[in-house]
């Protein structure tokens, strides 16, 4: 970003802040709000299965992006993806050991990933209620960004052989709310049963909505997040036609996803799930359970510009972050880290940086920005929640995860970056972060997350 662009960003940020200063968000008065904390985390990701495996791999700057060797991908411009490691090692996954054949007929892989992550998160939170009152006080908000296109294509071929060949579970497997439904059914949770499907903002919206359910008193515990498992020749081809995917590093897949780097050329599709357990603070304290972090605020916005491209002035991202800060009643000078949505696309990364710098203005020099997508690719509907989980761990452990493959920053900016290796999160005050997530259709979400202080 040039000096002129930087000054323009500051001017834009001041103008936009002024225009929305009267916005009260129409939320419950802060004095009436309940505090919401994170007490459980579960992860199924390209960096590994299990929270500790994935987190340690991220801190060690490992990468879960691999080459797609199937002949079906040979003629496609992009032949790489970030897959959940399959096998029987501790950090790998074999679905057949987790579910019966009958179970797997009823669900798509994304739902299976969500169930596995939910089990880990609930075990971590020590929350598996047996009495009816506690089950009624526990809800689920889990979304899926895209349906399983492989299932659609396969079922269409079966229909050509005869009506009776179509599985009676075909529709339930496709519905985006079935991950939430399956989790609710498995554990008997009778609180809010909610699902979000907002493209690549799905996971962040699910966490934000769950946060509001708990804060507003509708329930005391929410199991929330997102899942995705839509990598296939058709989906890769479709995103290639949009010119969204990286196509220049098919022979060096671990170098393909490079947020903020001047040589980035598109994102890399990923799969997986991440689930958080959110809990009302006193409920958690009474149980004497470990608390990872606190959620302070949640902001949403719409670009209202284009089907797939973000607003060039960054207004949508700006508004989501600004609203999250207002919702949290937190001054922007208190934010020292932004876990960016940055997917490694030339346009999107630059616009997000512009929005961040517009928001923080002169405080930009005190803000660190990173994107973990260099390590695990873009999980679409499971991106915002996986990266929220990593942000929560960063808050607790005082470590900011790196942006791998960042060798030459494509911006002149006062913001700080974390290229290729971790940095310590050093601050004299409470650690507070923003987590951004943006999706096609111009949908934006931002979460304000903080170090837990009783």
At 15, the pLDDT band (50, 70, 90 cuts) reads low
The answer on pLDDT for 80 being more than 80 is yes
Question: Is pLDDT at 435 greater than 50 in this prediction?
Answer: yes
Give the mean pLDDT of the chain.
Answer: 93
Given the residues 78, 108, 200, 230, the one annotated as active site:
200
Task: Determine whether 341 is an active site residue.
Answer: yes
Q: Are 451 and 328 in contact (CB under 8 A)?
A: no
Q: How many CB atoms lie within 10 A of CB 96?
A: 10
User: What gap in Å lies between CA 12 and CA 84, rounded to an integer?
Assistant: 41
Evaluate if residue 8 carries a pLDDT over 90. Answer: no
**Interval 3-14 mean pLDDT:** 50
Kindly state the average pLDDT of the residues 191-215. Answer: 98
Mean pLDDT of 96-100: 96
Percent of the residues in the chain that have a pLDDT greater than 70, as a whole number = 93
pLDDT in tens, 241-295: 999 999 999 999 999 999 999 999 999 999 999 999 999 999 999 999 999 999 9
Question: Mean pLDDT over residues 134-146, rounded?
Answer: 98
CB 387 within 8 A of CB 437: yes
Q: Is 200 a catalytic residue?
A: yes
Q: Residue range 50-57: average pLDDT?
A: 98
Per annotation, catalytic residue among 53, 205, 283, 378: 378
Tokens 């009783």 correspond to what residue? 454
Task: List, for residues 330-356, the tens digit of each pLDDT value.
Answer: 999 999 999 999 999 999 999 999 999
Pick the catalytic residue from 53, 341, 376, 448.
341
- pLDDT tens-place string over residues 143-194: 999 999 999 999 999 999 999 999 999 999 999 999 999 999 999 999 999 9
Mean pLDDT over 315-340 rounds to 97
pLDDT for 12 beyond 80: no
Residue 411's pLDDT is 87
């Amino acid at each position: 970003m040039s000096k002129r662009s930087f000054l323009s960003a500051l001017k834009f940020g001041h103008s936009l802040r002024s225009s929305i200063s009267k916005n009260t968000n129409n939320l419950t008065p802060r004095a009436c709000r309940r505090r919401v904390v994170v007490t459980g985390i579960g992860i199924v990701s390209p960096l590994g299965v299990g929270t500790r495996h994935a987190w340690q791999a991220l801190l060690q700057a490992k990468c879960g992006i691999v080459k797609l060797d199937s002949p079906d991908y040979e003629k496609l411009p992009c032949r790489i993806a970030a897959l959940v490691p399959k096998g029987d090692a501790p950090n790998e996954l074999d679905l057949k050991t987790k579910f019966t054949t009958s179970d797997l007929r009823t669900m798509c892989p994304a739902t299976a990933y969500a169930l596995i992550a939910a089990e880990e998160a609930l075990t971590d939170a020590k929350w598996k209620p047996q009495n009816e009152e506690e089950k009624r006080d526990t809800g689920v908000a889990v979304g899926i960004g895209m349906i399983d296109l492989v299932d659609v294509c396969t079922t269409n071929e079966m229909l050509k052989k005869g009506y009776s060949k179509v599985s009676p579970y075909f529709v339930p497997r496709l519905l985006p709310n079935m991950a939430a439904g399956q989790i609710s059914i498995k554990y008997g949770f009778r609180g809010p049963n909610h699902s979000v499907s907002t493209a690549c903002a799905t996971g962040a919206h699910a966490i934000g909505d769950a946060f509001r359910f708990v804060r507003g008193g509708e329930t005391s515990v929410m199991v929330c997040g997102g899942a995705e498992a839509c990598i296939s020749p058709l989906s890769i081809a479709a995103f290639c036609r949009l010119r969204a995917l990286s196509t220049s590093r098919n022979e060096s897949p671990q170098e393909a996803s490079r947020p903020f780097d001047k040589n980035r050329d598109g994102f890399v599709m990923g799969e997986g799930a991440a689930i958080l357990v959110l809990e009302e603070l006193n409920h958690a304290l009474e149980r004497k359970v470990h608390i990872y972090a606190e959620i302070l605020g949640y902001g949403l916005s719409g670009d209202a510009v284009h089907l797939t491209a973000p607003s060039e002035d960054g207004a949508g991202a700006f508004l989501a972050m600004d609203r999250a800060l207002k919702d949290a009643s937190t001054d922007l000078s208190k934010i020292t880290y932004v876990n960016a949505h940055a997917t490694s696309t030339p346009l999107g990364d630059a616009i997000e940086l512009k929005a961040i710098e517009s928001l923080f203005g002169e405080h930009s020099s005190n803000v660190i920005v990173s994107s973990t997508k260099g390590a695990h690719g873009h999980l679409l509907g499971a991106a915002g929640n996986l990266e929220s989980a990593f942000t929560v761990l960063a808050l607790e452990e005082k470590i900011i995860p790196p942006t791998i493959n960042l060798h030459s920053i494509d911006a002149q900016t006062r913001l700080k970056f974390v290229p290729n290796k971790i940095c310590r999160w050093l601050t004299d005050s409470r650690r507070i972060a923003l987590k951004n997530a943006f999706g096609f259709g111009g949908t934006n979400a931002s979460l304000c997350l903080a170090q837990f202080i009783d």
